[in-house]
Amino acid sequence: MCGIVGAVAQRDIAEILVEGLRRLEYRGYDSAGIAVVDGQSNYQRLRRLGKVNELAQVTKNTSVIGGTGIAHTRWATHGEPSEANSHPHVSGDITIVHNGIIENHVPLRTLLESRGYQFLSQTDSEVIAHLVEWELKSATTLIEAVQKTAAQLEGAYGAVVMNRLDPKRLVVARSGSPIVIGCGVGENFLASDQLALLNVTRRFMFLEEGDIAEITRHEINIYDASGEQVEREITESNVEQDAGDKGKFRHFMQKEVYEQPTAIINTMEGRIRPGEVITESIGVHAVEILKKVEHVQIIACGTSYNAGMTARYWFESLAGVSCDVEIASEFRYRQFVTRPNSLLITISQSGETADTLAALRLAKERGYMGVMTVCNVAGSSMVRESDFAFMTRAGTEIGVASTKAFTTQLTALLMLVTALGKEQKRITQEKEKEIVDALYALPTQIEKALSFDKQIAALAPDFADKEHTLFLGRGEFYPIAVEASLKLKEISYIHAEAYAAGELKHGPLALVDADMPVVVVAPTNDLLEKLKSNIEEVRARGGLLYVFCAPKAGFESDQSMKIITLPHVSDITAPIYYTIPMQLLAYHVALIKGTDVDQPRNLAKAVTVE
Ligand code: M6R
């Protein structure tokens, strides 16, 4: 959840480190810090509460000299956001930054205190600094001290260690939190995400679980969990350099909402052709595996879970294959039964979400016929650890609120369902053609939905002064309503709930009054008439309705009901399409409320802690 950057170079690196933190700020933004050392062991550490900009200002005004350094942007887990709790943490000549959670920090703290160490923060991370300092007393090298330290840590970490007295190197350890090494010429870098380093290199090595590496200006030495020296492949990044740029948009979220037609086109490229989905494009063994699948188990968190919930309707109604969807943090801690010939699918934008990754690892030991991930980040842990990865090609998503990741996940899942149904001979050629035609039409239709921006913005003032909102949908539009409520609560801080509309009278109807807007996702489908009855139930209780529907749905605006009529689209892709106005609504409400749209309070983009 935090961001880490490090460098060993001849030039002064403070500016590079701060720029790296800016690019990582989406991972956490409670406080930030930097520590730099020069060739003569002159050392500076600066830390600031708040966003990276605070740190950038002070770094600019202080001349920070030195070619070796580490930096960190924090999302608080242990200890409030404060300067004292900001990283880097120090113990004697040792400085560290850490991403993750050290679960056994309490006994370690007691042990270290008994050895005379004084703790200056409330963080779990500080134990790493003191442990390395202690181990270095008996170790011959810094890497040996870090290896001995790592052996005592429980939990997740990506941690970087710098020794003021040995300024030529950094040592980095990965266990549960991603770390990439950026390879330069006469200089090397590291970070928790390659995005941080794209302005200095495009060549990356991805550390694997348990790896500990030492980087100097000219060398990178990596040791695996057993202490064996290993090679890790260098890959050329294809992430766009300007991914961290808002361009003409006011916020990353807005930019990403508008990028959806292109992101969907990219996700479909090479995977469909007129009339058919190309099963082989899903993975080398896809045909063979999909033929045998009898059950699908989806695991995910947050928005990705909502994508899974939507796909469940498709797996069962289109492909005729049973499907369960579960929140990763629940799945991993309960006794579950693996059904025969069951395919496990994780869905994740980042590919690093701690709970989803842990569920994936658990599932690999529990007899699933295969583990697949639908993921947006190449080289991420989930991609590397799955049997096959179906990549969404949304491009880098920076806004904490997931938008284009969600609609590309849905696009990928719909293609997967179609391939599955076809391989199992449950989807006819005509049906396959209908689905593929709907997919081809989708990007243009989404452009049209985006042109409703102004009309939707005009609704936003009705929501901005409310404390509660209700979203309703039925069938596959119920998870779309859930996703809409997540978007609104996440960026506008308005309490938003979503219900399957049929559940209304079983409780939530009691909440309905003129102070609670009720948003209904109401496309034309088999359930429309049922939904109309649910709408009447709200109307009869004085509720104010905002109905998003298709032409000829038979709704009319009046004092208690505003109708937003969107152009007609295929029933099949309608869940993807109806997501767009929901995203726009959340965005415009947040604008009026003046919240931090891209970095909403208390949240971070990649949740790499439990
Ligand atoms: O990277 P993932 O898709 O695994 O992340 C899962 C959730 O943390 C994420 O979808 C979160 O709910 C969104 N930021 C909400 O917009």
pLDDT digits over 204-256, tens only?
Answer: 999 988 999 999 999 999 999 999 999 999 998 877 666 667 889 999 999 99
8-state DSSP, 11: S
Residue nearest to atom 4 of ligand 1 (CA): 348
pLDDT bracket for residue 1 (50, 70, 90): low
Regarding the beta carbon of 400 and ligand 1, being less than 6 Å apart is answered: yes
Q: Is the peptide bond before 600 cis (omega within 30 degrees of 0)?
A: no
pLDDT bracket for residue 4 (50, 70, 90): very high
User: Are 400 and 605 spatial neighbours (Cβ–Cβ below 8 Å)?
Assistant: yes
Catalytic residue set: 2, 605
User: Are 133 and 165 spatial neighbours (Cβ–Cβ below 8 Å)?
Assistant: no
* pTM of the predicted model as reported, rounded to 2 decimal places: 0.79
Pocket perturbation via mutation, ligand 1, pick of 27, 193, 326, 402 by most ligand atoms within 8 A of CB? 402
Distance (Å) from CA 375 to ligand 1 centroid: 11
pLDDT bracket for residue 308 (50, 70, 90): very high
Mean pLDDT of 458-478: 95
User: Are 136 and 94 spatial neighbours (Cβ–Cβ below 8 Å)?
Assistant: yes
Measured from the Cβ of residue 260, the count of other Cβ atoms closer than 10 Å reads 27
β-strands 468-473, 517-522 pairing: parallel
Confidence (pLDDT) at 376: 94
Regarding the beta carbon of 302 and ligand 1, being less than 6 Å apart is answered: yes
* 3-state SS assignment for residue 150: helix
Measured at the CA of 607, the angle between CA 306 and CA 326, to 5 degrees, comes to 35
| Ligand 1, atom nearest to 350 Cα | 1
pLDDT beyond 80 at 29: no
What mean pLDDT value characterizes the chain? 93
Regarding the beta carbon of 175 and ligand 1, being less than 6 Å apart is answered: no
pLDDT bracket for residue 131 (50, 70, 90): very high
Quick one: residue 104, left, alpha or beta (phi over 0 = left, psi -120 to 50 = alpha)?
A: alpha
Find the range with the poorest average confidence among 75-84, 103-112, 227-236, 394-403.
75-84
Residue range 481-513, pLDDT digits in tens: 999 999 999 999 999 999 998 888 898 888 888
- Nearest partner of 483 among 317, 361, 352, 300, judged by Cα: 300
Pocket perturbation via mutation, ligand 1, pick of 256, 299, 301, 610 by most ligand atoms within 8 A of CB? 301
Distance (Å) from CA 97 to ligand 1 centroid: 24
Regarding the beta carbon of 76 and ligand 1, being less than 6 Å apart is answered: no
Distance (Å) from CA 158 to ligand 1 centroid: 20
* 3-state SS assignment for residue 557: coil
| Ligand 1, atom nearest to 607 Cα | 8
C-alpha dihedral, 550 to 551 to 554 to 558, nearest 10°: 90
Amino acid at 515: D
User: Are 306 and 481 spatial neighbours (Cβ–Cβ below 8 Å)?
Assistant: no
To the nearest whole percent, how much of the chain has pLDDT over 70? 99
Distance (Å) from CA 307 to ligand 1 centroid: 11
Pocket perturbation via mutation, ligand 1, pick of 1, 353, 486 by most ligand atoms within 8 A of CB? 353
pLDDT bracket for residue 47 (50, 70, 90): very high
H-helix or E-strand spanning residue 22: helix 14-24
pLDDT beyond 70 at 449: yes
Confidence (pLDDT) at 244: 67
Measured at the CA of 210, the angle between CA 207 and CA 216, to 5 degrees, comes to 50
Quick one: residue 72, left, alpha or beta (phi over 0 = left, psi -120 to 50 = alpha)?
A: beta
pLDDT, greater one: 526 or 269:
269
pLDDT bracket for residue 423 (50, 70, 90): very high
pLDDT, greater one: 219 or 558:
219
Regarding the beta carbon of 353 and ligand 1, being less than 6 Å apart is answered: yes
Distance (Å) from CA 303 to ligand 1 centroid: 5
Mean pLDDT of 408-426: 97
Distance (Å) from CA 117 to ligand 1 centroid: 38
Instruction: Give burial (CB, 10 Å; 0-12/13-18/19+) of 186.
Output: exposed
Regarding the beta carbon of 283 and ligand 1, being less than 6 Å apart is answered: no
Residue 17's contacts (CB-CB under 8 Å, 6 or more residues apart) are 5, 6, 7, 34, 36, 69, 70, 71
Pocket perturbation via mutation, ligand 1, pick of 349, 380, 400, 492 by most ligand atoms within 8 A of CB? 349
pLDDT beyond 90 at 259: yes
